[in-house]
Amino acid sequence: MSVLDRIGQKLLFTFDPEAAHGLSIAALRCGLPAAGRPVRDERLKVSVCGIDFPNPLGMAAGYDKNAEVPDALLVLGFGFAEVGTVTPLPQAGNPKPRIFRLTADQAVINRLGFNNEGHEAAERRLAARKGRPGIVGVNIGANKDSADRIGDYERGVARFAQYASYLTVNISSPNTPGLRNMQAREQLGELLSRVIAARAAASAKPPVFLKIAPDLVEVELEDIAAEVTEKQLDGVIVSNTTISRPTLRSASVTGETGGLSGKPLFERSTIVLAKMRKLLGPDRAIIGVGGVDSTDAALEKIRAGADLVQLYTGMIYAGPALPGRILTGMVSFADKERLKSIRALRDISLDKWASKPL
């Protein structure tokens, strides 16, 4: 981290985590922090689902829930930004406090519960940026008290298809009761069928991804892969936060309920990623998420089968210059190894990761 990043982190860490998050969004809205020179290199480019990404590194959903700062995130160096999760109706989410830093582990536990301003507010902001360059995905979810959760996803597709570079169907948050049950094969089959039908009826036809949990067992992964393949979904995002608690040093908050993200998630999420790549084959798109906080971590996701990589928690601990550092490291690695493309690394470590037990 630079001295400026350290000062900024120290200042933000004096605030409650949720207040600090709000301050960081406000800073980006105001054009702070100033980004360095963008990292551009032909070897970083990757084409996925017909979209030409300038580099494989994206900001994951959960940071910009209300589509307030996607363009500011792109200025930081990200090749793409994913906004949301957005639900049809505004909802406050779970009671506070609901975000906990595990500083010794470079991790976070959150139980936010899809707190967001709803479709209307997000659509207004995305409509205002329509026509601007930059790849922006929209992550859609269901309201906690919805009588028809699949209908909520259909409404998300219908509303955001015209604005989204891609759509993500999020059924893997642990913080909305019963949501992860939609990963079961029967419910998933109906969900994907209706989502694909909703896209077919929309004025635009962006790729659709399914975001899954890391807490699945082998047979569940097999069922998901079968439904994704049968319904011809464009890809999968692996993974959301985990309800498991690997060995952690931050004992005072380890017992808090919610999803764990950050460095401790890297191992399991990468195993799930590789197993999903084996199940889906080489052509279906996969975005790898979980514990990405360095060039080495990002490259290892690609070696394990990812086409693209996302981060969020890593930037909390490494600062806003992290995307630039990761991409600069990728360019240096390509120089050292004389690679024509970073994509050439994909699947090199697939067998190693896929053979590990869950």
Give the range among 5-19, 105-119, 165-179 with minimum mean pLDDT: 5-19
Q: What percent of the chain has pLDDT over 70?
A: 96
Q: What is the mean pLDDT of the chain?
A: 95
Question: Does the annotation count 173 as an active-site position?
Answer: yes
Average pLDDT rounded to a whole number, residues 149-160: 98
Q: Which two tokens stand for residue 337?
A: 């190894």
Q: What share of the chain is helix, strand, coil (3-state, %, to 5)?
A: 40, 15, 40
In 3D space, the residue among 82, 148, 83, 80 whose CA is nearest the CA of residue 117 turns out to be 83
Is pLDDT of 171 > 80?
A: yes
The confidence score (pLDDT) of residue 306 equals 98
- Cβ pair 45, 53 in contact under 8 A: yes
Beta bridge mates, 109? 100, 260
Is pLDDT of 6 > 70?
A: no
- Rounded to whole angstroms, how far apart are CA atoms 73 and 179? 28
Is pLDDT of 52 > 90?
A: yes
- Rounded to whole angstroms, how far apart are CA atoms 194 and 169? 12
- CA dihedral sign of residues 27, 32, 36, 42: positive
Beta bridge mates, 219? none
Is pLDDT of 257 > 90?
A: yes
- Rounded to whole angstroms, how far apart are CA atoms 224 and 256? 29
Is pLDDT of 157 > 90?
A: yes
pLDDT category, 13, cuts 50, 70, 90? confident
Provide the 3-class DSSP secondary structure of residue 115. Answer: coil
Antiparallel, parallel or unpaired: β 259-262 and 107-110: antiparallel
Q: What percent of the chain has pLDDT over 90?
A: 93
- Rounded to whole angstroms, how far apart are CA atoms 103 and 12? 13
- Rounded to whole angstroms, how far apart are CA atoms 108 and 16? 13
The confidence score (pLDDT) of residue 92 equals 97
Q: Which residue has the tokens 């759509």?
A: 167
The confidence score (pLDDT) of residue 276 equals 98
What is the per-residue pLDDT across 209-218, written as a single tens digit (0 to 9) for each?
A: 999 999 999 9
- For 12, the enclosing helix (H) or strand (E) is helix 3-12
- Cβ pair 309, 56 in contact under 8 A: yes
Q: Which residue has the tokens 């859609």?
A: 140
In angstroms, what is the C-alpha Rg of the chain? 19
User: How are strands ordered across the β-sheet holding 107-110?
Assistant: 99-102, 107-110, 259-262
- Cβ pair 67, 138 in contact under 8 A: yes
The confidence score (pLDDT) of residue 134 equals 98
The confidence score (pLDDT) of residue 86 equals 98
The confidence score (pLDDT) of residue 3 equals 54
Average pLDDT rounded to a whole number, residues 326-332: 98
Per annotation, catalytic residue among 146, 173, 239, 261 = 173
pTM listed for this prediction: 0.96
- Rounded to whole angstroms, how far apart are CA atoms 269 and 263? 10
The confidence score (pLDDT) of residue 8 equals 63
The DSSP code for 248 is -
Is pLDDT of 83 > 60?
A: yes
- Rounded to whole angstroms, how far apart are CA atoms 115 and 260? 17
pLDDT category, 251, cuts 50, 70, 90? confident
- CA dihedral sign of residues 18, 23, 29, 31: negative
